[in-house]
Amino acid sequence: MPTLLLLNGPNLNLLGQREPHLYGADTLEDVARLCREAAPGWEVREVQSNHEGALIDAVHAARGACAGIVVNPGAYSHTSIALLDALNAFEGPVMEVHVTNIHRRETFRHRSYVSLRADGVIAGLGVEGYAAATRRIVQLAG
Ligand code: CA2
């Protein structure tokens, strides 16, 4: 059974609990359910961390073990060359998701280092973006 790594970065554990006007009412648990529904026959490995090194470790652990990665790197999108380097060492497809439209927000959110590696980027679809990204991973990995 192929495995999808669903990787969420800093503060996304608060999804559905704070700032619903910006990030919506769905929780990370709802996100995982959406991904499972979008990838029947796949196992979904969920990792959320507020720590950059833990996210990098999860990408390393996915090498040779996961068929694809759906990642919302949170604010590390805009700062982390280290996460980009880790994703560059992963052999499978990578989809980057942002709940909000980062291009309609502050200019510091417009650039994502992770986008240099991602096979696709989805922003502004709310949590539905995770489902679309998962479907794309299934297509690319299948
Ligand atoms: O739009 C996205 O998904 C972001 O990756 C979310 C990050 C932000 O730094 C990026 O620029 C865009 C922030 C995640 C914070 O998540 C929260 C969720 C609910 C309540 C508070 C924070």
Q: pLDDT tens digit string along 123-133?
A: 999 999 999 99
**How much is the pLDDT for 141?**
97
Across all residues in the chain, what is the average pLDDT? 98
**How much is the pLDDT for 70?**
99
User: Cα–Cα distance between 89 and 34 in angstroms, integer?
Assistant: 27
The two beta strands, 43-48 and 68-72, are unpaired
Cβ of residue 11 lying under 6 Å from some atom of ligand 1: yes
- Enter the pTM of the model: 0.98
**How much is the pLDDT for 142?**
79
Spatial contact of 15 and 26, defined as CB atoms under 8 Å apart: yes
Q: Is the pLDDT of residue 93 over 90?
A: yes
Active-site residues, by number, are 23, 98
Cβ of residue 16 lying under 6 Å from some atom of ligand 1: no
CA–centroid distance, 2 to ligand 1, in Å, is 28
Tokens for 25, please give them. Answer: 């009412």
Mean pLDDT of 60-77: 98
Cβ of residue 28 lying under 6 Å from some atom of ligand 1: no
CA–centroid distance, 64 to ligand 1, in Å, is 29
**Predicted confidence band of residue 119 (pLDDT cuts 50, 70, 90):** very high
Spatial contact of 130 and 98, defined as CB atoms under 8 Å apart: no
- Helix (H, G, I), strand (E, B), or coil: what is residue 61? helix
Cβ of residue 127 lying under 6 Å from some atom of ligand 1: no
Mean pLDDT of 27-40: 98
User: What domains appear along the chain, each with residue ranges and CATH number?
Assistant: 3-141 (3.40.50.9100)
